[in-house]
Structure 1
Amino acid sequence: MSTSQAAQYPYQDSSVPTDRRVEDLLSRMTLQDKAGLMFQPLAPMTMDLEEQGMFNSPSLRAILDSRINHVNILQGSTAREIAQWHNLIQREALKTPLGIPFTVSSDPRHSFSDNPAAALIAGPFSQWPEPLGFGALDDPELTERFADTVRREYLATGIRLALHPQIDLATDPRWARASGTFGESANVAGRLGAAYVRGLRGDGGSTKSVSSMVKHFPGGGPQLDGEDPHFEYGREQVYPGGQFDLHLQPFLDVFAAGATQVMPYYGMPVGTEYEEVGFSFNKGIVTGLLREKLGFDGIVCTDWGILSRTFWGVEHLSVEERMVKALDAGVDQFGGDSEPSILVKLVNSGAVAEARLDVSVRRLLREKFELGLFDDARFVDVDAADALVGAADALEAGLAAQMAAHVVLKNAEGVAHLPLSGQPKLYVEGVDPQTFTGWAHIVPSPDEADVAIIRTVAPWEQRGKPGELESFFHAGSLEFHDAELEHLRDIARRVPTIVDVYLDRPAILAPVADVASALTVNFGASAEAFAAILFGASQPKGKLPFDIPSSMAAVEASRPDVPFDTAEPTYRFGDGLRFDAWAPAERPDLSSTSIRMN
Structure 2
Amino acid sequence: MSLDHRSEVPLYRNPDAPVEARVADLFGRMTLDEKIAQLHAVWLKLSADGRHQSRTEDFAQRDTGVPLDTLLRHGLGQVTRPLGTHTVDPEEGVKALNALQKQIVENTRLGIPVMAHEECLVGLMVKDATLFPSPLNYGATWNPSLVGRVGDVIGEQARSIGCHQGLAPVLDVSRDPRWGRTEETFGEDPYLVGVLACHYVNGLQGERRDLIATLKHFVAHSASEGARNHAPVHVGPRELNDTFLLPFEMAVKLAHAGSVMPAYHDIDGVPCHTNRDLLQGVLRDKWGFDGLIVADYAAVNLLYTHHGVARDAAEAAAQTFNAGLDVELPGHECALHLKEALERGEITEATIDAAVKRVLRAKFTIGLFEHPYVDPDKVNLQSAEATAIAREVAIESAVLLRNDGVLPLAPDSAQKIAVIGPTADDPLALLAGYSFPVHLINSGEQSNSQITTPLHALRERFGNERVAYARGCYIIEERRAGAPVFPGDVSMDARSADARDELISEDTTQIADAVAAARGADVALVFVGDLAGLFQSGTVGEGSDTDSLALPGVQQALLDAVVASGTPTVVVMTGGRPYNLGGLEERIAAQVMAFAPGEAGGEALADLLTGRANFSGRLPLSVPKSGGAVPYTYNHRLKSAGTPIAYHFGSRYPFGFGLGYTRFEYGDLDIVAAEAPIENGTFEFSFTVKNVGARSGVEVVQIYVRDRLASTSRPVRELKAFARVPVEPGASARVRVRLPVDMLNFTDGRGERIVEPGDFDLMIGSSSRDIHLDSTLTVAGDATRTLERDWRMVSDVQVV
Q: TM-score, normalised by structure 1?
A: 0.85
Report sequence identity in percent.
25
Q: Which has the higher strand share?
A: 2
Aligned to 2:235: 239
Aligned to 1:542: 617
Aligned to 1:403: 395
Task: Evaluate the alpha carbon distance shift between residue 509 and residue 253 of structure 1 in structure 2; reply closer, same or farther with a 3 A threshold.
Answer: farther
Contact 1:79–1:157 (8 Å) recurs in 2: yes
SS at match of 1:98: coil
Give 2:555's aligned amino acid: E
Aligned to 2:197: 193
SS at match of 1:55: coil
Q: Is residue 426 of structure 1 aligned with residue 417 of structure 2?
A: yes
Contact 1:77–1:123 (8 Å) recurs in 2: yes
Superposed, 1:201-240 pairs within 5 Å as: 201-203=205-207, 205-206=208-209, 209-229=210-230, 234=231, 236-239=232-235
Give 1:254's aligned amino acid: A
Aligned to 1:281: 274
Deviates more, 1:357-366 or 1:487-496: 487-496
Post-superposition Cα deviations, 1:474-527, rounded to whole Å, max 9, x if no partner, equal: 433212258422221211232211111124123234634234211101122222
Task: Measure how far apart 1:109 and its partner are.
Answer: 5.5
Instruction: Report which structure shows greater RCO (CA 8 Å, sep ≥6).
Output: 1
Tell me the distance in 1 between the aligned counterparts of 2:574 and 2:258. 33
Q: Is residue 182 of structure 1 aligned with residue 186 of structure 2?
A: yes
Give 2:461's aligned amino acid: W
Task: Evaluate the alpha carbon distance shift between residue 384 and residue 87 of structure 1 in structure 2; reply closer, same or farther with a 3 A threshold.
Answer: same
Residue of structure 1 aligned with 2:296, choices 268, 278, 303: 303
Deviates more, 1:537-546 or 1:35-44: 35-44
Give 2:259's aligned amino acid: Q
Superposed, 1:347-496 pairs within 5 Å as: 347-375=342-370, 377-385=371-379, 388-413=380-405, 416-423=406-413, 424-429=415-420, 430-432=423-425, 433-440=455-462, 441-443=466-468, 445-458=517-530, 466=537, 473-480=544-551, 483-494=554-565, 495-496=567-568
Give 1:136's aligned amino acid: A
Aligned to 1:20: 21
Tell me the distance in 1 between the aligned counterparts of 2:165 and 2:220. 20
Tell me the distance in 2 between the aligned counterparts of 1:63 and 1:532. 53
Q: Is residue 253 of structure 1 aligned with residue 250 of structure 2?
A: yes
Larger-Rg structure: 2
Task: Measure how far apart 1:417 and its partner are.
Answer: 2.3
Give 2:416's aligned amino acid: K
Tell me the distance in 2 between the aligned counterparts of 1:551 and 1:28. 61
Give 2:387's aligned amino acid: L
Residue of structure 2 aligned with 1:528, choices 603, 611, 621: 603
Tell me the distance in 1 between the aligned counterparts of 2:294 and 2:229. 19
Tell me the distance in 2 between the aligned counterparts of 1:70 and 1:482. 42
Post-superposition Cα deviations, 1:552-583, rounded to whole Å, max 9, x if no partner, equal: 22116x59995996722110001111113347
Tell me the distance in 1 between the aligned counterparts of 2:418 and 2:344. 71
Give 1:393's aligned amino acid: E
Task: Measure how far apart 1:467 and its partner are.
Answer: 8.9
Task: Measure how far apart 1:183 and its partner are.
Answer: 0.3
Contact 1:262–1:299 (8 Å) recurs in 2: yes
Task: Evaluate the alpha carbon distance shift between residue 170 and residue 8 of structure 1 in structure 2; reply closer, same or farther with a 3 A threshold.
Answer: same
SS at match of 2:621: coil
Deviates more, 1:308-317 or 1:211-220: 308-317
Task: Evaluate the alpha carbon distance shift between residue 214 and residue 463 of structure 1 in structure 2; reply closer, same or farther with a 3 A threshold.
Answer: closer
Structure 1: state its 5+ residue gaps: 1-5, 112-119, 271-275, 585-598
Task: Evaluate the alpha carbon distance shift between residue 468 and residue 327 of structure 1 in structure 2; reply closer, same or farther with a 3 A threshold.
Answer: farther
Aligned to 1:37: 38
Deviates more, 1:538-547 or 1:520-529: 520-529
SS at match of 2:524: strand
Q: Is residue 88 of structure 1 aligned with residue 99 of structure 2?
A: yes
Task: Evaluate the alpha carbon distance shift between residue 420 and residue 210 of structure 1 in structure 2; reply closer, same or farther with a 3 A threshold.
Answer: farther
Contact 1:277–1:314 (8 Å) recurs in 2: no
Aligned to 1:64: 72
Tell me the distance in 1 between the aligned counterparts of 2:156 and 2:534. 37
Post-superposition Cα deviations, 1:430-465, rounded to whole Å, max 9, x if no partner, equal: 3233332332222252222122122121499x9977
Task: Measure how far apart 1:63 and its partner are.
Answer: 4.4
Q: Which has the higher helix share?
A: 1
Task: Evaluate the alpha carbon distance shift between residue 482 and residue 88 of structure 1 in structure 2; reply closer, same or farther with a 3 A threshold.
Answer: closer
Aligned to 1:160: 164
Tell me the distance in 1 between the aligned counterparts of 2:79 and 2:468. 51
Residue of structure 1 aligned with 2:283, choices 277, 290, 293: 290
Give 1:64's aligned amino acid: L
Give 2:122's aligned amino acid: H
SS at match of 2:147: helix
Deviates more, 1:55-64 or 1:129-138: 55-64
SS at match of 1:443: strand
Aligned to 2:759: none
Post-superposition Cα deviations, 1:379-421, rounded to whole Å, max 9, x if no partner, equal: 1121111xx32111211221121122100001112xx322444
Tell me the distance in 1 between the aligned counterparts of 2:636 and 2:312. 36
Task: Measure how far apart 1:122 and its partner are.
Answer: 6.0
Task: Measure how far apart 1:251 and its partner are.
Answer: 1.1
Tell me the distance in 2 between the aligned counterparts of 1:552 and 1:110. 27
Contact 1:314–1:322 (8 Å) recurs in 2: no
Q: Is residue 107 of structure 1 aligned with residue 119 of structure 2?
A: yes
Contact 1:418–1:535 (8 Å) recurs in 2: yes
Contact 1:109–1:122 (8 Å) recurs in 2: no
SS at match of 1:335: coil
Tell me the distance in 1 between the aligned counterparts of 2:546 and 2:103. 42
Aligned to 1:326: 320
Aligned to 1:589: none
Aligned to 1:595: none
Give 1:249's aligned amino acid: L
Task: Evaluate the alpha carbon distance shift between residue 310 and residue 487 of structure 1 in structure 2; reply closer, same or farther with a 3 A threshold.
Answer: farther
Q: TM-score, normalised by structure 2?
A: 0.64
Tell me the distance in 2 between the aligned counterparts of 1:397 and 1:490. 38
Contact 1:238–1:560 (8 Å) recurs in 2: no
Task: Measure how far apart 1:281 and its partner are.
Answer: 0.9
Contact 2:136–2:185 (8 Å) recurs in 1: yes
Give 2:467's aligned amino acid: I
Contact 1:510–1:550 (8 Å) recurs in 2: no
Deviates more, 1:391-400 or 1:189-198: 391-400
Contact 1:83–1:158 (8 Å) recurs in 2: yes
SS at match of 2:417: strand
Residue of structure 1 aligned with 2:586, choices 507, 514, 517: 514
Tell me the distance in 2 between the aligned counterparts of 1:194 and 1:221. 19
Give 1:172's aligned amino acid: D
Residue of structure 2 aligned with 1:336, choices 330, 333, 336: 330
Post-superposition Cα deviations, 1:342-396, rounded to whole Å, max 9, x if no partner, equal: 1123334544322221101111001101111100x211121111xx321112112
Deviates more, 1:471-480 or 1:360-369: 471-480
Task: Evaluate the alpha carbon distance shift between residue 493 and residue 277 of structure 1 in structure 2; reply closer, same or farther with a 3 A threshold.
Answer: same
Tell me the distance in 2 between the aligned counterparts of 1:178 and 1:294. 27
Quote the RMSD (CA, aligned, Å).
2.9
